[in-house]
Amino acid sequence: MKDSNCIFCKIANGEIPSKTLYEDDQFRVILDLGPATKGHALILPKEHYANLYELPDDTAAAAMKLAKKMATQMSRKLGADGLNLVQNNGEAAGQTVMHFHLHLIPRYVNDGQHILWNPGESTPEELEAIKNQIVE
């Protein structure tokens, strides 16, 4: 299914041009318009799924396989020192385009980006309670 109001549906299906790094039946991989670093790319499924929760299992598996292939190629060709895979779900998590996408963000020593979090603190009791909340 495509969503006629969704910009990533239009990009993924070629209705809006993009700098495409890779394309197959299921996905298009494009350069991000507002790159965090040189080579920041997005894996877009051609079908419209708003987020990870909606993504079919086989599409999720294929997206991760493609992420591995693209990450390997991009890191080698760009001479990156590392790479972050980022995937935001919901406004609270920073998602701004409500069509599932996987960020591939090549990293370079001293690139000035801050993609990682500040570690918090937790007691063993708090961790136990959270574990129980999730798995029970």
Catalytic positions: 101
115 contacts ligand 5GP (rule: CB under 6 A) = no
7 contacts ligand 5GP (rule: CB under 6 A) = yes
List the Cα angle 114/115/116 in 5-degree steps: 95
CA distance 29 to 20: 6
CA distance 116 to 36: 13
Of 6, 20, 23, 32, the residue at the interface with ligand 5GP (CB under 6 A) is 32
Partners of residue 104 on adjacent β-strands: 41, 85
Q: Which does 37 bind (CB under 5 to 8 A by kind): ligand 5GP, Zn ion, none?
A: none
Contacts of 70 (CB under 8 A, 6+ apart): 21, 22, 29, 41, 43, 104
CA distance 31 to 35: 8
Site string for Zn ion, 81-100 (x = CB under 5 A): ------------------x-
Size of the site for Zn ion (CB under 5 A): 6
18 contacts ligand 5GP (rule: CB under 6 A) = yes
Q: How far is the CB of 48 from ligand 5GP (least distance, A)?
A: 14
88 contacts ligand 5GP (rule: CB under 6 A) = yes
Partners of residue 22 on adjacent β-strands: 29
Of 34, 112, 119, 124, the residue at the interface with ligand 5GP (CB under 6 A) is 34
| Residues near Zn ion, by CB under 5 A | 3, 6, 8-9, 48, 99
